[in-house]
Structure 1
Amino acid sequence: MTADAVVFERVSKSFGAVRAVDDVSFALPRGALVTLLGPSGCGKTTTLRLIAGLELPTRGRIEIAGRDVTRLAAAERRIAMVFQSYALFPHMTVVENVAYGLVVGGARRTEAEAEAGAMLASLGLEGLGQRLPAELSGGQQQRVAVARALVLRPEVLLFDEPLSNLDARLRRRVREDIRDLQKRLGLSVIYVTHDQQEALAVSDLVCVMRSGRIAQMGTPTELYDDPADAFVADFMGEANVIAGEVLGPGRIVLGGTTLEAAMRDHPPGPAQIAVRPEAVSLRREGEGLKGRVSRAAFLGQTREYEVETDAGTIFVVTPASAEAFAPGEAVICRLERVIPLRG
């Protein structure tokens, strides 16, 4: 049995003159939660629909659990999808919603509803089977949609922007529920979002897409700490991208100032330097990049600053407990870690 849940081999999908997915190849491992991340129009949702069989590729080959499904319709693939809107039937009870796919597939109603009840219990929804969807919270509706997908025992479970309809606090709780469930059941999950924090929080692997292609794929830590280029650096969280020069290991020049900072290996010479906002500390004196605070904001747990320097404007985030600075104050920016970008 293959170790890969989904394999794309040079897959493209065109809509007229527009190529939404452009010569994409990847192997997504079984039992992992893989997020397709990118801005609107990058191709992530089309890629998900290609996996689901809701779109067929213009060219290339798609494999699910070792089986060539390139030309198979959605009903012929062992996949299930949780839609952004949940798509629950409002006139059916919760247990009827979950059992629906089994009944359509030929199972007896009593058996299907018994299996649906067991799945609801496993997701913490025991006792809610006779309610209508409108009688549930947003988080409960999300779990019903997941139960309806899981009861079909899919090879791959697909999520299309599953948290976009929830408020911030509920979104955090439901994403934790999805991650816990995925780990507990060893599910192969493909998850689409445009939210970087969401991707960092739930993923084993993140596939960042841009203009129908894969910009970079790796673990959340790899993409955050070792981005391939300025696009990935800025998309995977905030980043200050500054033109500078690498002098050697741990030594760079920014805005005419020679600085020492932890950094990955990079050949000496001109380079784009990415600096994470939290990798900058502010001081009133000492060695570092001189600047002046142009904006300061208190956000409860953190403080945000914009600092004007000879290298350009630097966005800085510090803990709320750190020393505070007011607009107009002269400061020294000490860069704890920088990322010279390749290419």
Structure 2
Amino acid sequence: MSDVAINFEGVTKAFGNVRAVDEVSFQLPRGALVTLLGPSGCGKTTTLRLVAGLELPTGGRIEIEGRDVTGLSAAERRIAMVFQSYALFPHMNVLENVSYGLLVNGARKPSAEAEANAMLKTLGLEGLGQRLPSELSGGQQQRVAVARALVLRPKVLLFDEPLSNLDARLRRRVREDIRDLQRKLGLSVVYVTHDQQEALAVSDLVCVMRAGKIAQMGTPVELYDDPADAFIADFMGEANVLQGEVLAPGRIALGGIPLDVTMRPHPSGPAQIAVRPESILPQPEGAPGLPGRIQRAAFLGQTREYEVETAAGMLFVVTPAASLAFAMGEAVSCRLDRVIPLRDVKG
């Protein structure tokens, strides 16, 4: 069996003169959870629909576990999809919803219900089979939708913005449920979201898309700590992107001020420098660092946020609440613990 769950080779999807997906190539490992991430209109949902067979490419080749499925319909691909709206049948109870696909595929009712009940037990829904979807919480409805998909034993499971209808606290719990289930069952999962925190929390790999192309693909840590350009740096969490200069390994200049920093290797010369808000530590005036003045200060419980005006530009800073506090208008020196010289200076 192939170690690659999904293989895209130069896949293009055009709608008239618009290329929603533009010669995209990637390989997604079997048994991994891979997130397609990006702003609205970047091509991530179209890419998911191409995997599912809900759209057919206008160019390129798609393989699922080594099998060419480029021209096959959704029904021929053994793919299951969990939609944003869950798409549960409101007039059917939970057991009927989960067993529906098996019955459509020709299974007898007793065996279909037995498999459905087993899947409900796996997902922690035992005893809820007779309830209607309207009698369940949002998280329970989400798990019913997953059970209905998994009972068909798909080769790949697809999620299209699965948490967008849930409140913040429930989103965190359900995303943990999805991740735990994926690991427990060894599922190959493609997950679409526009939420960076969600992508960082659940993914083995993140594929960031921009204008129909892959901007960068890697682990959550790689994309956060080693972004290729300003777009990735700013999209994968907050980032201060400043124009500066790399003077030598571990030494840069911002606003004409030389600073010793932790940084990845980068050629000497002008460069865009990304600095994460949590990598900046305001200190009393005169301490080593980049001089500045507090323009805004906010206490958020666990953290403090500052905007600091410096010769290099305005810095957004996040510090632990227990760290030294500064008032608006106070002169400070900003110690930069780690910076990221960007490879693509155009951003």
Normalising by structure 2, we get a TM-score of 0.98
Partner residue, 1:172: 172
Match in the other structure for 1:247: 247
Whole-Å Cα distance in 2 between the matches of residues 304 and 172 of structure 1?
23
1:163 matched to which residue of 2? 163
Residue identity (%): 80
Question: Any idea what the Cα deviations from partners look like across 1:273-312, whole Å, max 9, x if unmatched?
Answer: 0000000001013111011111111111111111110100
Aligned: 1:111 with 2:99: no
The amino acid that maps onto 2:302 is: Q
Q: Which residue of 2 aligns with 1:221?
A: 221
- Tell me the distance in 1 between the aligned counterparts of 2:56 and 2:256: 53
Partner residue of 2:26? Answer: 26
Deviates more, 1:267-276 or 1:281-290: 281-290
After TM superposition, the runs of 4+ consecutive aligned structure 1 residues lying more than 3 A away are none
Q: CA deviation at 1:330?
A: 0.8
Tell me the CA shift for residue 335 of structure 1: 0.1
Between the aligned partners of 2:185 and 2:327, the Cα distance in structure 1 is: 51
CA distances 1:210-258 after superposition (whole Å, capped 9, x unpaired): 0000000000000000000000010000000000000011100001110
User: Aligned AA for 2:158?
Assistant: L
Please give the secondary structure, in 2, of the residue aligned with 1:118: helix
* Alignment-mate amino acid for residue 275 of structure 1: V
1:315 aligns to what? Answer: 316
2:305 matched residue in structure 1: 304
SS at match of 1:11: strand
The secondary structure found in structure 2 opposite 1:31 is coil
1:120-199 matches, cutoff 5 A: 120-199=120-199
SS of residue in 2 equivalent to 1:266: coil
Q: Which amino acid aligns with 1:323?
A: L
Query: What CA distance in whole angstroms lies between the structure 2 residues aligned with 1:163 and 1:299?
Result: 25
CA distance, structure 1, for counterparts of residue 205 and residue 252 of structure 2? 31
Looking at structure 1, the residues matched to 31 and 295 of structure 2 have their Cα atoms a distance apart, in angstroms, of 48
Taking structure 1 as the reference length, the TM-score comes to: 0.99
Any idea what SS the aligned residue of 1:115 has? helix
CA shift at 1:26, angstroms?
0.2
Structure 2, unaligned runs of 5 or more? none
In structure 2, give the amino acid aligned to 1:201: A
Deviation at 1:320, TM superposition (A): 0.9
The match for 1:96 is: 96
Partners in 2 of 1:138 and 1:129 — Cα distance? 16
Q: Provide the rounded CA distance (Å) in 1 between the counterparts of 2:158 and 2:9.
A: 19
Counterpart secondary structure, 1:325: coil
RMSD between aligned residues: 0.5
- Structure 1 residue 325 displacement after superposition: 1.2
The alpha carbon displacement at 1:266 in A equals 0.1
Q: How far, CA to CA, are the matches of 2:164 and 2:130 in structure 1?
A: 26
In 1, distance between residues paired with 2:165 and 2:294?
Answer: 37
- The match for 1:11 is 11
